[in-house]
Structure 1
Amino acid sequence: MIELIDCEESHRWLLYEWRSSDEVRPYMYDRAEISRETHDAWYTQLLRREGRRGWIIAMDGKPVGAAFVSQHDHENRRATWAFYLADPSTRGRGVGSAVEYLVLEHAFGELGLHKLCCEVLSFNTAVVAMHKKFGFVEEGLLRDHWYRDGEWVDTHVLAMFEDAWAERRKRFGEQLRSRGLI
């Protein structure tokens, strides 16, 4: 079973390990090594929860990744989200879909958002496909947006709207429950 656990002080250095790992860093915008001081400051801001929220993704009680909602704009009822799976053994097992469902439920339920946005590097085709499967629509493509390893990389800009989620949530919830993922 997949659950989201609020980030707490005890998770500070676990997230540092993950963000510094070869499993996560290639999918981040900035792949440079993160200093302990930089991470410490970032995590302190995360715990203040001012316009952002962070969770540890747990699979059968074991921490396997993290998810974040940030840039929460209360007036315009929108935010941005991202996640990563730090444990490669979780990939291809429906964990990402369960996380997507749980975050969407939080975003459109508890937060009352109208729109949830995300950005995905173009080489991460599995995550782009997963977002679209859930009903995210592509709002744009930022061409040559990041320079990595001597090549320019595009970034997909996607969004989910509250009415689209209202139409899909029951079906996805039933599918994930039948697989024992949520």
Structure 2
Amino acid sequence: MTSRPLSFRLPTPDDAALLLAWRRLPDIASQSFSDVPDDVERQRAWIEKSNARSDYVHRIIQVDGVDVGYGSITVTHAEWGVGTIGVYMGDRRGRTGIGALNFAPMLNHCFFRLGLRKLVNQIFAENQKVLKGQTLLGYRHVGVLKEQALKDGQPRDVHLFEMRAADWVATRHRFGLFYDLDGQDVG
């Protein structure tokens, strides 16, 4: 494997404080569907449990070897080959310069390594940057679920996006990254 500015590593229980701090940042917490209690030991246990799951793949995103964010893939329906991904950037270095590129290895992992045939993502309507990014990556906007979620006691609209494996194959050449989360070339 060659040295790449964008890489990924498996979280360990020792990353609990870092991930918890990122997950509790106001701009990340406000766009997350679930609230995370301020409990490092609970976060540590969650990492251990997540590492053992067969339907969940997660990595810490690194830029030039520096931890900048977190990405996860959840297989929501194994028999159908459907999943969802989630990403957040806890460090500014992951929000500028690398941009949408952090998704390319994740999407390669979904479609080429895990063999998923489709991804379906749900995004809060207020998350304008991510809404725009979904289309840039090749997702199709399916529609809006009005007042679908409750966050801080307030109803919020949720946008649905989908991408089929064939959609990613047609789009991924624009990003020029042909490796997965483990740094393996997927062609």
Instruction: Give yes or no for the alignment of 1:142 onto 2:145.
Output: yes
Q: Is the 8 A contact 1:52 1:72 kept in 2?
A: no
Aligned in 2, Cα 1:148/1:74: closer, same or farther, shift over 3 Å?
closer
Instruction: Give yes or no for the alignment of 1:99 onto 2:102.
Output: yes
Deviation at 1:14, TM superposition (A): 1.7
Q: Is the 8 A contact 2:58 2:70 kept in 1?
A: yes
SS in 2 for 1:144: strand
**Which has the larger displacement, 51-60 or 150-159?**
150-159
Which deviations, in whole Å up to 9, do the C-alpha atoms of 1:117-146 show, x marking residues without a partner? 211111111111111111101223221123
Q: Is the 8 A contact 2:7 2:62 kept in 1?
A: yes
Counting only pairs closer than 5 Å after superposition, residues 87-166 of structure 1 correspond to structure 2 as 87-95=91-99, 97-148=100-151, 151-166=154-169
Q: Percent same amino acid at aligned positions?
A: 24
Where does structure 2 lack aligned partners over 5 or more consecutive residues?
A: 178-187
Inter-partner Cα distance in structure 1 for 2:127 and 2:65: 27
Q: Is the 8 A contact 2:118 2:165 kept in 1?
A: yes
Cα-Cα RMSD: 2.0
Inter-partner Cα distance in structure 2 for 1:148 and 1:87: 24
Counting only pairs closer than 5 Å after superposition, residues 8-87 of structure 1 correspond to structure 2 as 8-31=12-35, 33-87=37-91
Q: Is the 8 A contact 2:68 2:93 kept in 1?
A: no
TM-score (norm 2): 0.82
SS in 1 for 2:26: coil
Runs (4 or more) in structure 1 with deviation over 6 Å come to none
Inter-partner Cα distance in structure 2 for 1:31 and 1:42: 14
Alignment correspondent of 1:177: none
Residue type matched to 2:113 in 1?
A: E
Q: Is the 8 A contact 2:6 2:61 kept in 1?
A: yes
Q: Is the 8 A contact 2:23 2:36 kept in 1?
A: no
Q: Is the 8 A contact 1:5 1:55 kept in 2?
A: yes
Deviation at 1:25, TM superposition (A): 1.4
Structure number with higher helix proportion = 1
Q: Give aligned pairs, total.
A: 173
Inter-partner Cα distance in structure 1 for 2:44 and 2:106: 25
Where does structure 1 lack aligned partners over 5 or more consecutive residues?
A: 175-182
